[in-house]
Amino acid sequence: MSTLEIKNLHVQVDTNDGPKPILKGVDLTVASGEVHAIMGPNGSGKSTLAYSIAGHPDYEVTEGEVLLDGVNILDMSVDERARAGLFLAMQYPVEVPGVTVANFLRTAKTAIDGEAPKVRQWIGQVNQAMENLRMDPAFSQRDVNAGFSGGEKKRFEILQMELLRPRFAILDETDSGLDIDALRIVSEGVNRLHDASDAGFLLITHYTRILRYIKPSHIHVFVDGRVAEEGGPDLADRLEEEGYDRFLA
């Protein structure tokens, strides 16, 4: 059993007008096998939380800690965090011209495991994972995210997650901009990893519709850089009816 503990996390970014506090004391703990949804209005700091855990250099932690099984990951490099089992599916995946999907996946797997995967077995795993996500095999020879549609980018994030098998996966609005079919395929990927491993999930989302396919055990409502309310799955139904208005008054 593993835990990812976010304790009193304060994060700021540098702007032209000086440092701007964005996260203002976030407390949240995810254990292996749990699925936590973080919901909240645009601009509430959800992506900032994801970037801060992943180690993005623009986000300066001024207070608090993030503990993976008791070890503060904020002292680790981005690579070390990935090797420790953290995975981030980004809201806006970046293009990597000149690097094919196949090369990217093998390089990432090698970096995380500390050794190259066995070729035949690896190809089998990649093909199976691509088939699960209904991705055309030709996809593996395309450059990472270059010219991918919004849905293809999100599927590729899930493909990485399934192949890299993190201990904790943070998915930042992987549901945004997806049509119903893509939403279901992406959700199935999350549910497959959830069933096949004891990974914990932080599912960041603006909308409740993905929660028809992925059943979170915990829901946290994020407002202005803090957790404003927490609850079980029922909270999603209330948010669906009421929206975020009552938190923004």
In the bound complex, what is the minimum distance in angstroms from residue 45's beta carbon to ligand ADP? Answer: 4
Q: Is 111:78 a contact under the CB 8 Å cutoff?
A: no
Residue ranges in 29-48 that form contacts with ligand ADP under rule CB under 6 A: 40, 42-48
Closest residue by Cα to residue 174 from 193, 202, 197 = 202
Residue ranges in 77-136 that form contacts with Mg ion under rule CB under 5 A: 91
22 touches, from Mg ion, ligand ADP, none (C-beta below 5 to 8 Å by class): ligand ADP
Indicate whether 160 belongs to the interface with ligand ADP (CB under 6 A).
no
Q: Which of 17, 42, 75, 115 binds Mg ion (CB under 5 A)?
A: 42
In the bound complex, what is the minimum distance in angstroms from residue 206's beta carbon to Mg ion? Answer: 7
In the bound complex, what is the minimum distance in angstroms from residue 30's beta carbon to ligand ADP? Answer: 18
Size of the site for ligand ADP (CB under 6 A): 13
Q: Which two tokens stand for residue 6?
A: 């976010």
In the bound complex, what is the minimum distance in angstroms from residue 41's beta carbon to ligand ADP? Answer: 7
Would you say 45 or 189 has its CB closer to ligand ADP? 45
Residue ranges in 45-84 that form contacts with ligand ADP under rule CB under 6 A: 45-48, 58
Q: Is 161:87 a contact under the CB 8 Å cutoff?
A: yes
Q: Which of 6, 22, 73, 193 binds ligand ADP (CB under 6 A)?
A: 22
Helix (H), strand (E), coil (C) string for the chain:
CCEEEEEEEEEEEEECCEEEEEEEEEEEEEECCCEEEEECCCCCCHHHHHHHHHCCCCCEEEEEEEEECCEEHHHCCHHHHHHCCEEEECCCCCCEEEEEHHHHHHHHHHHHHCCCCCHHHHHHHHHHHHHHCCCCHHHHHCEECCCCCHHHHHHHHHHHHHHHCCCEEEEECCCCCCCHHHHHHHHHHHHHHHHHCCCEEEEEECCCHHHHCCCCCEEEEEECCEEEEEECCHHHHHHHHHCCHHHHC
In the bound complex, what is the minimum distance in angstroms from residue 196's beta carbon to ligand ADP? Answer: 29
Would you say 69 or 224 has its CB closer to ligand ADP? 224
In the bound complex, what is the minimum distance in angstroms from residue 50's beta carbon to Mg ion? Answer: 8
Would you say 117 or 177 has its CB closer to Mg ion? 177
Residue ranges in 123-152 that form contacts with ligand ADP under rule CB under 6 A: none
45 touches, from ligand ADP, Mg ion, none (C-beta below 5 to 8 Å by class): ligand ADP
Site residues, ligand ADP (CB under 6 A) = 13, 15, 20, 22, 40, 42-48, 58
Site residues, Mg ion (CB under 5 A) = 42, 46-47, 91
